[in-house]
């Protein structure tokens, strides 16, 4: 076959939820994912954006065989998700972190919780402790290892959940709105942890979110609406399209919006501004030019 398969790839993926009546006849069909083709290379940081109900979670659940395609195909590291023989291999390759940290923590001591995944995989005890230590250090929670998870903040709990996935040594972590239930500090902790794992451990990241400021560091962004990919590109090319994003009920980061409004008023600013630093630099340059 001519074209090389990516590390994670969905090709023309369709997912339909079907509702049945009391006689077992299909009463209603909801096409939640509609012809989605996405390629992710190993080590990429990919973000998927979209308003509520756009199909993000349904798509994510295809990446580790929680759901199987109605039509189309998904491959994870060359394994087709429909192939039952590869179920555990796929789940170990692509770990999933969900929205609610409270539903993901099971043990009453943090280090036991993080060790639960590798233990289930049959990893030898010595190796489990080594992995727990490495994972807790990677998310900056090592000093809490003997604590109970109960008193942690939401951000800390989510970092423990990420450590639990890391301890299974996945090549990829999929995070489905991991910051939706967190305060701004918790959100920052989780996003910087995710970036660090990507940069330092070369873990492939697929981050699903509707917070625009969380995707400015992504290599590639997909925007979903009504089950379809409607925009695709780098954060810089995506955030240029302020009006299009609004159509999909998404906001650009505050600083991008501000720069966009100033540019509309006639100020000579760059076409896209993603960070405060960029805006300050651009404004300083303007001022120098005027003097």
Note the residues at the interface with ligand ADP (CB under 6 A): 17, 30, 32, 50, 52-58
Cβ closest to ligand ADP, residue 58 vs residue 77? 58
Nearer to Mg ion, 16 or 112 (CB): 16
User: Among the candidate windows 9-17, 54-62, 107-115, 253-261, which touches Mg ion by CB under 5 A?
Assistant: 54-62
Alpha carbons 177 and 105: distance in angstroms, whole number:
17
> In 54-78, which positions are buried (b, 16+ CB within 10 angstroms) versus exposed (e)?
bbbbbbbbbbbbebebeebbbbbbe
Task: Report the C-alpha gap between 248 and 50 in whole angstroms.
Answer: 7
- Which partner, Mg ion, ligand ADP, none, binds residue 32 by CB below 5 to 8 Å per kind? ligand ADP
209 binds Mg ion (CB under 5 A): no
What residue 15 binds from ligand ADP, Mg ion, none (CB within 5 to 8 A, per partner kind)? none
How many other CB atoms sit within 10 Å of the CB of residue 249? 12
* Least distance between Mg ion and beta carbon 276 (Å): 29
> Residue 22 has which token pair?
């009391």
Closest to 16 (Cα-Cα) out of 62, 48, 63: 62
Spatial distance between the Cα atoms of 163 and 115, rounded to a whole number of angstroms: 9
The nearer residue to ligand ADP, 205 or 224, going by C-beta atoms, is 224
**53 or 270: whose CB is closer to Mg ion?**
53
Contacts to Mg ion by CB under 5 A: 56-57
């Amino acid at each position: 076959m001519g074209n090389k398969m990516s590390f994670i790839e969905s090709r023309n993926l369709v997912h339909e939820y079907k509702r049945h009546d009391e006689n077992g006849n299909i009463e209603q069909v909801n096409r939640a994912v509609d012809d989605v083709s996405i390629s992710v290379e190993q080590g990429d940081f990919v973000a998927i954006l979209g308003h509520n109900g756009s199909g993000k979670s349904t798509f994510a659940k295809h990446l580790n065989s929680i759901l199987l395609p109605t039509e189309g195909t998904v491959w994870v590291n060359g394994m087709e998700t429909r192939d039952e023989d590869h179920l555990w291999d796929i789940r170990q390759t692509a770990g999933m972190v969900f929205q609610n940290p409270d539903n993901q923590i099971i043990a009453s001591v943090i280090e036991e919780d993080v060790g639960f995944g590798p233990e289930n995989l049959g990893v030898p005890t010595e190796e489990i402790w080594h992995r727990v230590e490495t994972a807790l250090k990677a998310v900056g929670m090592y000093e809490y290892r003997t604590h109970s998870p109960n008193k942690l903040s939401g951000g800390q709990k989510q970092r423990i959940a990420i450590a639990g996935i890391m301890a299974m040594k996945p090549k990829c972590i999929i995070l489905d709105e991991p910051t939706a239930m967190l305060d701004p500090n918790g959100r920052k902790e989780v996003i910087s942890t995710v970036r660090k794992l990507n940069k330092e451990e070369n873990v492939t990241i697929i981050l699903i979110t509707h917070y625009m400021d969380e995707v400015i560091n992504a290599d590639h962004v997909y925007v979903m609406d009504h089950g379809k990919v409607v925009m695709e590109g780098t954060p810089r090319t995506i955030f240029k399209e302020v009006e299009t994003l609004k159509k999909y009920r998404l906001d650009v980061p505050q600083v991008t919006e501000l720069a966009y409004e100033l540019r509309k008023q006639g100020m000579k600013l760059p076409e896209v501004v993603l960070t405060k630093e960029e805006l300050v630099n651009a404004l300083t340059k303007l001022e120098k030019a005027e003097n």
